[in-house]
Structure 1
Amino acid sequence: MSEGIDVRVENRLIRFVPASPVDQARVEADLGGVRAENLVIIALSRPSATVIVDVEGRLIVHGTHRVEAAQAAAKEILLRLGVEDASLSMEFGPI
């Protein structure tokens, strides 16, 4: 007799695409982001999330359980950079 596979989703990756790409260099200089090859990573405490800025200037949010928390993290980065968040679009999936 075969048993089913037990799957538990711990968190999800949500990608946010701003109207204008986020400048990785500004995230490093202004927000203390850390470069890891072609990505810049910044950890937020409120909301608790890890935000990755990819080479295309998109924000990938990791470590949240709710979409609203991920969106708040992306908006927090944009707010700290003084960038407009009005036309922020969202995608689910891997980096």
Structure 2
Amino acid sequence: MNDEFEVLIETQSFRIIPSQTIEISDAIRYLGAKSNGEYAVIEREDPRAVILVDSDGSMIIHGISNLEAATLIAEETLLRMGMSEKGLTIARGEVLASFSVGRAVLIGLASERFSDAEHDIRLDALRINANRYGCTILLFSNGRGVVMGQSSRKVAEMAASFWISRLEEEGALA
């Protein structure tokens, strides 16, 4: 396997449940959020992120790949609305991870050799159902790939590494 292999976490979503529910009207009034009544959207610039305030009073922070940064964004958002930042419950959502094999992927050969892999004609990519790791991997013929549907960074890395090794063993990397 390529020694230069590295999985980069592009983004992850985080659900933030504060100790008291957030009112959509407060997000609009104090933070300039846009709303359709069901939820409010706040766009941040530094760091760049999108915050959704849900009708259940929780927040979803999207566009950040770091738990500490997401926590700070949530705390700042609550404080700007005059709410307490204490007692947050934070749940990690799915990551979007990218990587490069550094070699071409023989999509046709790989889809023939593995029952968990198929040629996704719509994307012209190899779609791998990495059930063992609870995620999906898309690999393009140029060797670039993404891992989707996994909430753990480490498991996403393990899935990509495992499948690259299998593809190499079967001669599906050129």
Q: What SS does the aligned partner of 1:86 have?
A: coil
Q: How does 1:72-83 map to 2 (within 5 A)?
A: 72-83=72-83
Q: Distance in 2 between matches of 1:21 and 1:49?
A: 21
Q: Distance in 1 between matches of 2:74 and 2:11?
A: 16
In the TM superposition, 1:1-95 aligns within 5 A as 9-93=9-93
Alignment identity in percent?
A: 30
Give me the whole-angstrom Cα distance separating, in 2, the residues matched to 1:8 and 1:46: 21
Question: How many residue pairs get matched?
Answer: 88
- Is the partner of 2:87 in helix, strand or coil? coil
Q: Computing the radius of gyration over CA atoms, which structure comes out larger, 1 or 2?
A: 2
Query: Whose strand fraction is larger, Structure 1's or Structure 2's?
Result: 2
Say which is worse superposed, 85-94 or 70-79, in terms of deviation: 85-94
Deviation of 1:11 after TM superposition, in Å, equals 0.7
Taking structure 1 as the reference length, what is the TM-score of the superposition? Answer: 0.83
Deviates more, 1:33-42 or 1:83-92: 33-42
1:48 Cα offset (Å): 2.2
Shift of 1:45: 1.9
Question: Larger RCO: Structure 1 or Structure 2 (Cα < 8 Å, ≥ 6 residues apart)?
Answer: 1
Note the alpha carbon deviations across 1:32-62, whole angstroms, 9 max, x for none.
0001351100012233211110011101000
Cα distance change, pair 37–80 in 1 and its aligned pair in 2 (3 A):
same
Once superposed, which parts of structure 1, at least 4 consecutive aligned residues long, lie more than 4 Å away? none
- Given the two structures, how large is their TM-score scaled by the length of structure 2? 0.47
